[in-house]
Amino acid sequence: MLLTSIIVFATAVVAAPVEFPLPDGFPTPNPTQLLNIQKAAGGYLPKSPLPTNLTQNAISALQLLANNEFFEVAFFNELLTNITTNVPGYCANDTAPLNRELLIKSLRAIKNQEELHAIGANAILVNAKQPPIAPCQYTFPVSNFKNAILFAQTFTDLALGTIPEIQLLFALDGGDEPPNVLTLGSILAQEGQQDGFFRYVQQKTASAAPFLTGGSASFAFNALQRLIVKDSCPKPLSTLNFPTFRPLWTIDPKPEPSWPLWLTVKQAKNTTLDLSALDFDNGGSGDYSVVYLSGQNLPVAVPILNYDRVRGSSYETFQAEFPFEAGFANGLTIAVVVLGKGPFANAAAVADATLAGPVVIEVN
């Protein structure tokens, strides 16, 4: 029973991939098309001078950022199509009581803004003589408006947690990268506006918590990997300089709606999670923990309980306490399996010890 459900999760939902270039010319619009994208986005690409020299870490971070923006463009493009063509699950009664005209106007602005984020990240790469990122094909684990918006909130939360770490990298990396800190700050705020909208649409408070959850580029990279159609990425994505972690799934509470590394916890309470992973133990018997990042707390490590291996397979099952009432923030919590018990000083130290994950948990 348990094994069956794991295998169902492992063969993810496949949605029709978005074809690039889009009708508006993205990702390589001609000058007239670019002007139209900027008009529809409500503003223009940054005019400040771009760095001419980037460190390897900065290149990887920008490549990840560009790819994540491509993913977001594909998502919002398809969401708009679903709504404007009245795909079942996206019809007027599904989006009620929202003002449908304003909803479409907002999503259209967001799609065009994301296009400029992607074009902007690639422009920085190209100015520093690096190849631009080209889009992959992505799958979206949703088939109705409600879940699509919850999903948008979740991946935006993950981006909001990752961008500050990339800003820190640009600030400390030397060279002529510091101006990127300002550009990323402007993108961070912009995505925060989007996130407030996604939350409001779901009748949640517009802002989740006083201090949002920080992350690591490695976690964003691994989450994105699970949404990319296998072998659909043109180079240089495959050469991105991030570690690949083992997949981690949530079994109970059930993932919602169908993305196995995505969990909505309805009650802001302590609970126990049933998790599954693929072969992180590798036959050994290490000292493992589940580590949570929530708000601006120090990482919280809890022991793995009831570790077991599904007979004749590489699937591992175990439990972990989810101690929300020990000071976690509403909104995003990131969970990973690490080697060791901690304590971990920050998200980067957690990422260095991570074996499997992340699972992204939304509370409230």
Question: What are the residues whose beta carbons fall under 8 Å from the beta carbon of 278, sequence distance 6 or more?
Answer: 246, 247, 314, 315, 316, 356
Smallest gap from residue 203 Cβ to ligand NAG (A):
14
Smallest gap from residue 2 Cβ to ligand NAG (A):
26
338 contacts 326 by C-beta, under 8 angstroms: no
Residue selected from 268, 326, 345, 346 as contacting ligand NAG according to rule CB under 6 A: 326
- Is position 93 an interface residue for ligand NAG (rule: CB under 6 A)? yes
**What is d(CA 230, CA 130) in angstroms, rounded to the nearest whole number?**
24
**What is d(CA 253, CA 234) in angstroms, rounded to the nearest whole number?**
36
**What is d(CA 336, CA 357) in angstroms, rounded to the nearest whole number?**
5
217 contacts 242 by C-beta, under 8 angstroms: yes
Smallest gap from residue 334 Cβ to ligand NAG (A):
18
Residue selected from 24, 94, 279, 352 as contacting ligand NAG according to rule CB under 6 A: 94
**DSSP assignment letter at 228:** B
Q: Write out the binding residues for ligand NAG, residues 56-75 only, by CB under 6 A.
A: 75
Residue selected from 69, 72, 78, 316 as contacting ligand NAG according to rule CB under 6 A: 78
Nearest Cα residue to 295 out of 264, 337, 333, 345? 333
Residue selected from 323, 339, 340, 364 as contacting ligand NAG according to rule CB under 6 A: 323
Smallest gap from residue 117 Cβ to ligand NAG (A):
18
- Is position 170 an interface residue for ligand NAG (rule: CB under 6 A)? no
**What is d(CA 239, CA 31) in angstroms, rounded to the nearest whole number?**
30
Which CB sits closer to ligand NAG, 79 or 251? 79
- Is position 18 an interface residue for ligand NAG (rule: CB under 6 A)? no
Site size toward ligand NAG, by CB under 6 A: 21
Which CB sits closer to ligand NAG, 13 or 35? 13
Point out which residues pair with 309 in neighbouring strands. Answer: 316
Query: Pattern of binders to ligand NAG over 132-151, x per CB under 6 A?
Result: --------x-xx----x---
Q: Write out the binding residues for ligand NAG, residues 240-279 only, by CB under 6 A.
A: 270
145 contacts 190 by C-beta, under 8 angstroms: no
Total Cβ atoms within 10 A of residue 105 = 12
- Is position 43 an interface residue for ligand NAG (rule: CB under 6 A)? no
Residue type at 157 in one-letter notation? D
- Is position 53 an interface residue for ligand NAG (rule: CB under 6 A)? yes
Total Cβ atoms within 10 A of residue 3 = 14
Q: Determine the interface stretch with ligand NAG among 78-86, 114-122, 192-200, 235-243 (rule: CB under 6 A).
A: 78-86
Q: Write out the binding residues for ligand NAG, residues 187-216 only, by CB under 6 A.
A: none
Taking the alpha carbons at both ends of the chain, their separation in whole angstroms is: 30
**DSSP assignment letter at 26:** T
The contact set with ligand NAG (CB under 6 A) reads: 15, 53, 55, 75, 78-79, 82, 87, 89, 91, 93-94, 140, 142-143, 148, 175, 270, 323, 325-326
